[in-house]
Amino acid sequence: MNNTQRHDFLQSAISKVYDLIVVGGGVTGCGIALDAASRGLKTLLVEKSDFASGTSSKSTKLIHGGLRYLKQLEFGLVRETGIERAVVHRLVPHLVHPEKMFLPIVDGGTFGKMSASLAISVYDFLANVEAVDQKETLSREEAIDLEPLVKSDFLSGGIVYSEYRTDDARLTIELMKKAAVLSCDCFNYMEMKNGLYDDEGKIIGVECYDVISDRLCQFTGTNVVSAAGPWVDGIRKEDGSFKGSKLFLTKGVHIVVDREKLNLNQSVYFDDFNGRMLFAIPRGKITYVGTTDTSYQEDLDRVVANAEDVEYILSAVNHYFDIVPLEIDDIQSTWAGLRPLIHQEGKSPTELSRKDEIFEAPSGLISIAGGKLTGYRKMAMRIVDLVLDKNPSFDQSISGTHEIKLGENEFEDYREVKFFIERFEIDVIAYGLEKYHGWYLITTYGKEVKKILNLMKEQKRESPEENLILAELQYGIAEESVWHPLDLLQRRTGRLYFDIESVQKYKTLVIDACANHFNADTKLIDKWKTEVDQALGDALAFKKGLA
């Protein structure tokens, strides 16, 4: 899309009266937009920055039920999200990958042998896990053979159980794209400034600032839902319905190291011996580890990992794994995100429920907060059900998102995904790329990889990697609402986290290509440079004393 196309698209949106306006372009907001559009509601989605720019690109990137929530007796939450794992995997298999999780049983750990076995048996039962994927209990010797990097001196056994790994930002983008296919109007860089109200104080729309065209826009709609994550309370304040914070924000930090520095055979759910569990997850050529869970009251728009966060994770890794101890300089990148949890008096961040909660204001504004990445579809369904209940004149259809596959030319199942990965790991070599790029392209774009490779052929650079990133940019602009270089480098590709060297190497190339496409002036180009450099700085802030 270019500026002229956005202008025309925007003019059309301003002239409509929507059934539902969704504020917030994270996984929850995009999930609501898809559900609403699929049920025939005339839907608008607005996001103040880029899609998935908040919490939905900074999670642990797992589709999981939350084993530790059993300790909090959250059986309903575990059951719902546990069952949803298989649903989301079926809907988008190239983004949601089966992941065997190894839980070592260690002396003095959070889980003992009996408690872990019982907990995961309950977990498998609640999540309706098929027999082939249910837990496998390992002896000490079997556990050592399975994952020799776990220190054997305190290891007494282990359990292997099933989870799923994802790319949270890509999942959010695919939800947005499918909603758009179903006629939802979707705008990133469209910041809600205030609500529009009738004479009785009922909300009838929103006024937004379009960052791209530098103008105010008014959109009207019968219903307005705020799915703004950590910013929900701010919108409630503007609405006049804020009666004290419903949210408790916690910060979660992850570190990224070269796979060779922590070369695990599979993902490990391990103990910090202080009451918390962490994940160590191999992904392509890196391994990432997290997460922390600390209260947060600082800038919502700039959340970074500080030295204390990083030192905690490094200490836990070095204590637990038999490796050359990781040091600060081994960390390639970090990310930090906020969890908008529902406040519960007297509970620590780790103890707070991950349930979602819906708030209805006297103005008619509906807000949703809390919840987990895995439960996005169920949260969306509850919101749209509520909207339909409030509007009897609407078609009272039921949600069918459990059958709406995401992506273009969707994969039949995960076996087909694996076939395509194996094929493209060979095919990309003809383009001068590495085998890794075959895996990367399929697990990022699915069958749309063919478009990327065709666009690569049109590029004129000598470097295959330069041609690849320019093709990704061209595709992102045309089909995924890329407006800023960072949209591509951070959220559409995950390069900032998983291949930060490529960001450092090709940032100028991407900025120049964006400037050429959008006919950007010097002021905008300087803004882009600042954004990319700030993102790089934030990913490495703990090293530079900036956090």
**What sign for the dihedral angle of Cα 219, 220, 221, 227?**
positive
DSSP E strands in 202-276: the ranges are 203-210, 215-221, 224-226, 247-258, 267-271
Report pLDDT for 353.
52
Asked whether the beta carbons of 290 and 331 are under 8 A apart, the reply is no
- Tracing tokens 């309370």 back to the chain, one arrives at 233
**C-alpha separations of 265 from 88, 102, 132, 145, 382 in Å:** 25, 10, 20, 10, 39
Residue 429 exposed, middle or buried by CB count within 10 Å (0-12, 13-18, 19+): middle
- CA–CA separation, 445 and 431 (whole Å): 17
Tokens of 4: 């002229």
Tokens of 463: 């470097």
Tokens of 217: 């826009």
Residue 375 exposed, middle or buried by CB count within 10 Å (0-12, 13-18, 19+): buried
Report pLDDT for 71.
66
Which one is the CATH code of 3-55+169-245+353-403: 3.40.710.10, 3.90.1170.50, 3.50.50.60, 3.90.105.10? Answer: 3.50.50.60
Distance of CA 56 to the CA centre of its chain: 3
Q: What superfamily in CATH does domain 414-544 come from? A: Alpha-glycerophosphate oxidase, cap domain (1.10.8.870)
Report pLDDT for 484.
98
Asked whether the beta carbons of 267 and 282 are under 8 A apart, the reply is yes
Asked whether the beta carbons of 168 and 52 are under 8 A apart, the reply is yes
Collapsed DSSP state (helix, strand, coil) of residue 368 = strand
Tokens of 93: 């298999």
Residue 121 exposed, middle or buried by CB count within 10 Å (0-12, 13-18, 19+): middle
Nearby residues of 182 by Cβ (< 8 Å), 6 or more positions away: 34, 37, 38
Q: Residue 492: which region, alpha, beta or left (left: phi > 0; alpha: psi -120 to 50)?
A: alpha
For residue 275, what is the DSSP state?
S
Cα Rg of the chain (Å, integer) = 23
- CA–CA separation, 277 and 267 (whole Å): 13
- CA–CA separation, 452 and 446 (whole Å): 10
Tell me whether the omega of the peptide bond preceding residue 137 falls within 30 degrees of 0, making it cis. no
Asked whether the beta carbons of 297 and 248 are under 8 A apart, the reply is no
Q: What is the pLDDT of residues 432-459, one digit of tens each?
A: 999 999 999 999 999 999 999 999 999 9
Q: Where are the domains of the chain?
A: 3-55+169-245+353-403, 99-164+247-349, 414-544
Tokens of 373: 């990445």
- CA–CA separation, 336 and 255 (whole Å): 9
DSSP E strands in 348-498: the ranges are 356-360, 366-370
- What is the CATH number that goes with domain 99-164+247-349? 3.30.9.10
Cβ neighbour number for residue 39 with a 10 Å cutoff: 24
Asked whether the beta carbons of 166 and 84 are under 8 A apart, the reply is no
Collapsed DSSP state (helix, strand, coil) of residue 207 = strand
Q: CA geometry: angle at 147 spanning 143 and 151, to 5°?
A: 85
Report pLDDT for 545.
53
Residues of the chain with pLDDT under 50: 344, 347, 351, 546-547
